[in-house]
């Protein structure tokens, strides 16, 4: 399998840790601001910011999807070219092995899509829950008065 058929998933891995890390940082900063300012609404503001980050991540997800689609197309094109080259039993075996490698690469692309979508959706849900109930969470965690 050539390097052209191996999908480059570095951007997916970067987004997969960057988005949750940013959401956690915003949550912790909003808790700190709520404690410092004695205002539980800072946690709600942090939730709104987390939701906005998740919405912005959708743009990154779309760019990632476009790259994945290009990789999938390259893998399938290479497979179509290799299938016509089999001459003997060893070539047929090599073609089958390459086909399995292509199938695994395509499955990894699918898993990458689901993983990124899961992080985006998870951050959006967490952000909206904090936006709606962040003040109650701050009251419970920080003991801030109403």
Report long-range pairs for 29-35 (Cβ below 8 Å, ≥24 apart).
30/130, 30/134, 31/138, 31/141, 31/142, 34/138, 34/142, 34/144, 35/138, 35/142, 35/144
Q: Where are the domains of the chain?
A: 11-142
Look at residue 7 in the predicted model and tell me its pLDDT.
Answer: 54
User: End-to-end alpha-carbon separation of the chain, Å?
Assistant: 63
Look at residues 31, 60, 11, 67 and name the one whose alpha carbon lies nearest to residue 140: 31
User: 6 pLDDT exceeds 60?
Assistant: no
Look at residue 2 in the predicted model and tell me its pLDDT.
Answer: 44
Q: What is the pLDDT of residues 63-79, one digit of tens each?
A: 877 877 887 777 777 76
Give the span between the Cα atoms of 132 and 123, in whole angstroms: 14
């Amino acid at each position: 399998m050539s390097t052209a058929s191996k999908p480059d998933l570095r951007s997916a891995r970067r987004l997969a840790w960057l988005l949750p890390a940013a959401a956690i940082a915003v949550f912790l900063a909003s808790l700190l601001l709520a404690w410092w300012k004695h205002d539980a609404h800072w946690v709600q503001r942090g939730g709104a910011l987390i939701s906005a980050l998740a919405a912005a991540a959708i743009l990154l997800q779309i760019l990632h999807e476009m790259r994945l689609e290009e990789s999938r197309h390259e893998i399938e094109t290479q497979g179509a070219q290799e299938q016509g080259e089999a001459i003997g039993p060893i070539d047929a075996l090599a073609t089958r092995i390459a086909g399995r490698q292509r199938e695994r690469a395509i499955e990894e692309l699918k898993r990458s899509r689901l993983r990124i979508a899961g992080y985006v959706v998870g951050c959006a849900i967490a952000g909206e829950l904090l936006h709606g109930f962040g003040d109650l969470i701050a009251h419970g965690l920080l003991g801030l008065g109403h």
